[in-house]
Every structure is written in C-alpha cells, then in structure tokens.
Structure 1
C-alpha cells in the first residue's frame, strides 16, 4: 500500500503537468516523497480515514492526492500534520517540513491549461491562488456532493446556454469529466441536493432527478448525445414573469426546499404574496408557503452553520443613479419578516415613489446586516466551512458579484468577502471588501468574466462559477 502511494505522489506531478516534470533535483524529490510516506501516508489516510487518499481496494486515488494537496499544504505549514499524537517515527524536523512544503506546493500551484483565460489579470487576497477547475457553458448555480461531484445550473439573466442544460462535473480516474444531466430545460438556474437526488428550478416549475448522483456516475463514460436523465415535476405553476424570473434553490436545516420569486419589474407594487419573496415547500412540493416578503431579487442564499439563520443577498433597484441604493446582505431570523421592497431600500432609503407614506426607520422592516456595493449584482454566497484557509476566514461569507448592467461606470465583477468581528461595544459587525477582482478592466470598462455562485469544495477550497466564460474556478490557499 505504501509503495502505491509513493508511486502516485511521484507521478502525480507529471500527470498534472507540474514543475516537477521539468527536472528538479532527484535527491530533493526522493527526500520529499520519503518524508510524506513516513508522516502521512496510506497508514494514516487510507480508505477508512478522511480525507481518503486510497480507494476501497487499497490502491492510491491519484485524483484525491491532487484534490487534497492544498489542504495538506496548509496543515504541513501550520504544523498540524503530522499530528502531535502521531508516533515519534512519524514526526518531522523543521528542515523536513520545509522540504515537504516545497514538494506539495508543486501539486497546488501548477495547472497547465486554464482554458486560455487571463487568470494572471486577477488580483487575489494575499496567499491565495486559483485555477480553472472545469468549464461548462453558462455555468451559474452550483451544488456539491460529499464525494466531489459538482452539479451546475444555467440560464438566469445572461441565458448564455441556449441548450438549457444542467451539467455535472464528475471526478474519474483519468480526470474530471463534464456531462449533461439534462437538456432543453427552461432557464434551469437553481440546483440543490438532498441525498443523491437533485432538484432543479426552471422559470415556472421545480423538477426532481431521483438519484442524479448514481445516474451521472453510471453514464460519465458514455456517449449520451442529448439524452437527459429522467425527472418528475414536484411543483408547477410558478408565475411567468419577464423580469427576475430565474430561481435559486437550497435545502434548509429544516429539510425544506427554499426558493426565491423575484419582483416582476424594476420597481412596482406587486402582489407581495405572489412576488418579491422567499418561499419554501416540502421535498415533494407540498406545503408551499411564503417565509419572507419585500425581497426584490435574491439569487443566492445560505444558512449560518452556527445559528441556522438564513442569509441572502438582494439586488437593489435601478434608476436612482450609480451610487444608490446599495445591494443588501440580509439575515432571516423569523418567518414572515419584511425586508422593505418596494417601500424602502438598504437600511433607511425611502423609495421616491412607493416610500412616501412609509417610515423606513420602522422596525416593521428588517434592515440588512451589511450594505454592499451599489448595483454590483450580488448573487451566490456561502459561509466558508473548510479548514484550508487561514482562521480569519472561518465562517466568513463569500459573495459572488455578477456586475452592474446599466451603470455609467461598471461596478462589481468580483468575489467579495464579509468577515465578522466584535467592535468596542461588543456588537458583531461585518467588514465587507473585495477578495478577488480583475474580471473588470476599470480603465477600459470592459469585462471578461461574471462571477455567479460560490460553494465550499471537499478539499477546503472554494468553487466559483462564471457564466460569461463558462468556467468554474477553484480558489485555494498556498501561503505567503
């Protein structure tokens, strides 16, 4: 078993096109391999211990070694691997640790093909790097299985996949493969997993692919043409609307399926039970109910892993200028809360048409936790839950900002982060700042990418979709 892992680590850099294939000193490679075998080899991370670097037969899973390289690197750098409880024979010296860091970095920093995308133009937070994980035309909402399959919805405002597909990115022994789970759906933007079943939101209905995980595993190496997996509709009759009709899906801690229904306009006074709200239902489509009102257009929500509260982004109205109103990061703490649309925007901005007789300071309207950039088109968000980023990012909220569409000066086109801390008064406050920028060239006012959704991946990295390029990026920490 150890020999197999030794062989996998020796070849993984060659297989992935890393710098090790370009001829570093053989004695350095040999030393690094020996250190890895002695400190964290198959005896520690076998098919029974997570993260698993071997399969059920005891053979090395080469994809797993590459997948978890960033996580391994962080633990080697911070001294938590090998663990202090490990036998003395598995402990390593400072010099050995430095050698191991140098070796593992080659598995995380070299990607031979990023699809021709100018990733070097991007500015990342210190210590971070990124690569193209996969490409799927029109990539928008993401859903990740525990074993690393990624389902990808398409459609939405950009509607850049006219084939109406839901994609699946499937790890295989020869690398990741992208296949279509379904074709010819009507803006299948929202995707959500419950067990092995995948739920997809079209414009007017929600459909269910029973055992979608099993289907893509069984068909990943077949020539499927335009064959779709079988599905059933669990909820139909959602309102047809020309604006904000695309849906986002997510299963809450209560096991219910949550979904947005946007306002059918930029600014108007719609039926607030039918539009501009967040709804939920059972996983069979029954017990459909409204849980939040006054939500203009959310295309991203998630749940706080500690409090179980729902957090969601909301896009502010247009035609009040480039700087108003801000987008919102909101928190739902009780059913029935009203977030103000169309009367009030952000924390205290009264709408010039519909807010004249409303008190926007009133407790009747729930205020956002954080005001985001104006017109940045904040969409998908997630709490970071991995263990491969520095501690300051634990439970931080990452927000994909799709970018403005009609501002005089473009805004957004980035991945932002909100980190929480306590101020001098003991209040928890969120600090909002860019995390990755550069999809927008501010000087020329041109953009080459538009982030949409962000999710935790199984190796402690983040995945970020981009519907303009069709890329799903993998963002990982490699240290300074």
Structure 2
C-alpha cells in the first residue's frame, strides 16, 4: 500500500513537458520514468575489509588532526568523488568521474559502512560527479551534460530499478559542441531559496575571448540555478574558471564556493580561491584574473570590463580546492559551528606537491574568513600521494565524511574530546 501511494504521488508531481523524454535518452530512463521494470536484477558490490582496507588504515594512522579528533576508514568506494547524505540518514550516495554512482549504507549504525553497491545499475551515467539532496528526499545527480532526478531515492535504492527522471535532458545542460573531457565534474546544491545550483566549469586553462559571450549566456564558467522542476534557468555567478564545490552559509544564506585557478604561471601563483557571493550576477574575474589579483598572461594588457569580486580567502597555489560544506553538526567543539570544511585534492604539476588535505575556514560576523589545515598527511616525505581528498560532508551524528578518489575510500572524522 505504501509503495502504491508513493508511486502515485510521484507520478502526479512529475507529469508535463519538463520530463518529456527525447530520442537521445536511453530507453531505460524512459522505463524508469514510467515505473517499468528494466530487467536488470544484479548489483555490483564492493568488498569491504581485507588487505586493501588494512593498507588504507595504515595510511590513516599518519594523518594529523587537532587534539580530540579521530579518523577511520568508513568505506571502500572506488573513484569516490562528491557525496550526498540522505536526509533520513539511511544511505550516502557517492559520485564518480566515470560511469558509476555508489550507494553506501551503514546498516548496524556502528559508524562503518556495511554495504557499498552501485546505484541505478540499469542507467548509463556519464561523469556523474555531483549528487545532491533536497530536504524532502529528492536526489539530483549532475552529470557532464545532464541532470537526473530521483524522487524518494532512499526508498528506492535497494532495488536495481529506481524512479528516475530528467531534470535537464542530455545535451541541454551545455551545448553539445562545448562538451569536453576537461573541467566537466559538476556539483550541485539546493539553496535556501529552494532552487538547485549547478557549477559549470569552462574547459580551457584560460577561456578564449571568442567563447566569452556564449559562456556568459549559458553559464559555462559560472554557476547556474533553476527551479527543481527544471524551469527558470538563469546564470547566478560569472567569472569562474572551474568550481567543484559550493555551499550556502547556514545563517546568511550566502553562496560560498571554491575555484581552481590557472596553470602554467609557476609554482607559487596564482592562488586558489574560496569565494563569497552576496548577490546574483556578481563576477569573480576569470579570464582576466588567473586567481586572486594575479592577471592572466592572455589578458594582461587589457582593461577589465567588469566589476570583479575578489576571493574571501586566497589558498596556496595549485592545491586544487574542491568539495566544501558548512558544518552545522553538534559533535565538534563550538568554534567549528558554521565553519567551512573543504578538500584540497593536491597539485598535479607543481615541483613540490602541495594540498592533499582537509582545510577548515572560520568566518567572523563581518564575513571575514581565515583558513587553516584540519587534517593532513596524505603526502609523504618523498612527495608521494597516499590519498587525494575530494569532498567533505556531515553525517547526522555530527561527524564528517571525506572522500578520496585516489585510494577509493571514504574516511570518517569524529570528535572524542581531549
């Protein structure tokens, strides 16, 4: 009875042209949108524990944290990228830059995952990096060039067949001719206004002049927002190189986001960024600025034709600041309330590697921000990466999860006191 009622309610909510299927959409999405079986019956399960897990635990023994904090392996999750924790606390969905979305479940609530399996295995995902949840339990997954919607994902995920719809059909998130292998890891969050915000990194190191009008029009090199029925799309943020993490301040509602800055200018410039956006339409400098106040070589001699908002925080050059979230839990000491926890993925071309750590950013009542390391040690004394953090989210108990796409794992950090 409960299942029948839920299906009827979802069908009632999602009729109309917003979810019309195009010829490009795989047949299985059309079937799932109509609550029809696809014939797929098998999951891919990821083994937990064993020698691989023991190796990760050995690495975690060398991670440094503030006094009273502990870190442990939560789950083995291949290619783990951005995460979305279900509002009911039942399951965490983990995106990848490949073709899988993973569901991670701690069934006995011992704060270690018992089961990791693929989500919606009958669908053909393409770089499903960015899952996010609405408060009422709707899961959104931002792909390279599509956004999918899964009503009641925490209810349906136990089955290979799940209720699934297009929010933005394949090929409509960006123009197909602008698809690229570079800077295509999308992220999304639901804002305090109830709209969904999606980042659209531009694919170049520095965006060329002939692309700027198109990019400003569709939101490439920016952050777009739309209603959660897919209507009302608009560009909210301009002048972004490649943002792969954003969240909203729990008290002010302001949008904060990380940005990865221009390569090829040396080891120590330009800085990475954490940005604070106070109103729609603000411009954050790309392509005239490569990071902070550092001008790009390509546009160095030109007047800047826009008013530029400089970053709230400049971070170490090339550390690759990615996923971030505000901390609203009750487990950590009071000073961490409403602080930003963010992941530095680590440099890919710096002479001496930097990053590969979790940062914490404290914000005062005036909006001024300062950043410091919180968890580090994933680069050893030889400069070898032992892990590369991607995203940070909170669990319902107030602990945080950190994803790592090099080790293929989620780590849990909790507080036990001094």
Q: Above 0.5 in TM-score?
A: yes
Q: CA deviation at 1:211?
A: 1.5
Asked if 1:331 is matched to 2:264, the reply is no
Residue number among 89, 92, 105 corresponding to 1:151 in the alignment: 92
Q: CA deviation at 1:188?
A: 0.4
Q: CA deviation at 1:173?
A: 4.0
Asked if 1:415 is matched to 2:348, the reply is no
CA distance in 1, matches of 2:50, 2:96: 29
**Residues 261-286 of structure 1: CA distance to partner in whole angstroms, max 9, x if unpaired?**
11121112333323201001111211
Structure 1 portions without partners, runs of 5+ = 1-110, 220-226
Q: CA deviation at 1:317?
A: 0.6
Q: CA deviation at 1:170?
A: 2.2
Asked if 1:283 is matched to 2:218, the reply is no
C-alpha distance 421-232 of structure 1, shift in aligned 2 (>3 A): closer
What corresponds to 1:434 in structure 2?
373
What corresponds to 1:27 in structure 2?
none
Structure 1, 235-244 or 335-344: larger mean CA deviation: 235-244
Residue number among 371, 374, 382 corresponding to 2:317 in the alignment: 374
Q: How does 1:334-345 map to 2 (within 5 A)?
A: 334-345=279-290
Q: CA deviation at 1:202?
A: 1.1
Q: How does 1:37-436 map to 2 (within 5 A)?
A: 114-117=53-56, 118-156=59-97, 159=98, 164-173=99-108, 176-183=114-121, 184-194=124-134, 195-216=136-157, 218-219=158-159, 227-236=160-169, 237=171, 238-239=173-174, 240-269=179-208, 270-271=211-212, 272-273=215-216, 274=218, 275-359=220-304, 364-421=307-364, 428-436=367-375
May I ask how many residue pairs the two structures share in their alignment? 349
C-alpha distance 174-387 of structure 1, shift in aligned 2 (>3 A): closer
CA distance in 2, matches of 1:185, 1:347: 35
More helix by share: 1
**Residues 278-301 of structure 1: CA distance to partner in whole angstroms, max 9, x if unpaired?**
001111211111111100000100
Q: CA deviation at 1:431?
A: 2.2
User: Does the aligned pair in 1 maintain the 2:87–2:133 contact within 8 Å?
Assistant: no
Q: SS state of the match for residue 324, structure 1?
A: coil
Q: CA deviation at 1:132?
A: 1.1
**Residues 410-434 of structure 1: CA distance to partner in whole angstroms, max 9, x if unpaired?**
1110001112347xxxx55322111
Q: CA deviation at 1:155?
A: 2.8
User: Does the aligned pair in 1 maintain the 2:94–2:103 contact within 8 Å?
Assistant: no
Structure 2 portions without partners, runs of 5+ = 1-48
**Residues 222-249 of structure 1: CA distance to partner in whole angstroms, max 9, x if unpaired?**
xxxxx45342222132331231112101
**Residues 148-198 of structure 1: CA distance to partner in whole angstroms, max 9, x if unpaired?**
234333333xx4xxxx11111223248632222123410100101122221
Asked if 1:474 is matched to 2:412, the reply is yes
Q: CA deviation at 1:112?
A: 11
Q: CA deviation at 1:316?
A: 0.6
CA distance in 2, matches of 1:210, 1:421: 37
Q: SS state of the match for residue 199, structure 2?
A: strand
User: Does the aligned pair in 1 maintain the 2:148–2:164 contact within 8 Å?
Assistant: yes
CA distance in 2, matches of 1:148, 1:115: 27
**Residues 100-156 of structure 1: CA distance to partner in whole angstroms, max 9, x if unpaired?**
xxxxxxxxxxx9995431211111122210111122111111111233234333333
C-alpha distance 174-331 of structure 1, shift in aligned 2 (>3 A): closer
User: Does the aligned pair in 2 maintain the 1:139–1:152 contact within 8 Å?
Assistant: no
Rg (Cα) greater in structure? 1
When the two chains are superposed, the root-mean-square deviation of aligned CA atoms in Å is: 2.1
Q: How does 1:8-27 map to 2 (within 5 A)?
A: none
TM-score (norm 1): 0.69
User: Does the aligned pair in 2 maintain the 1:151–1:166 contact within 8 Å?
Assistant: no
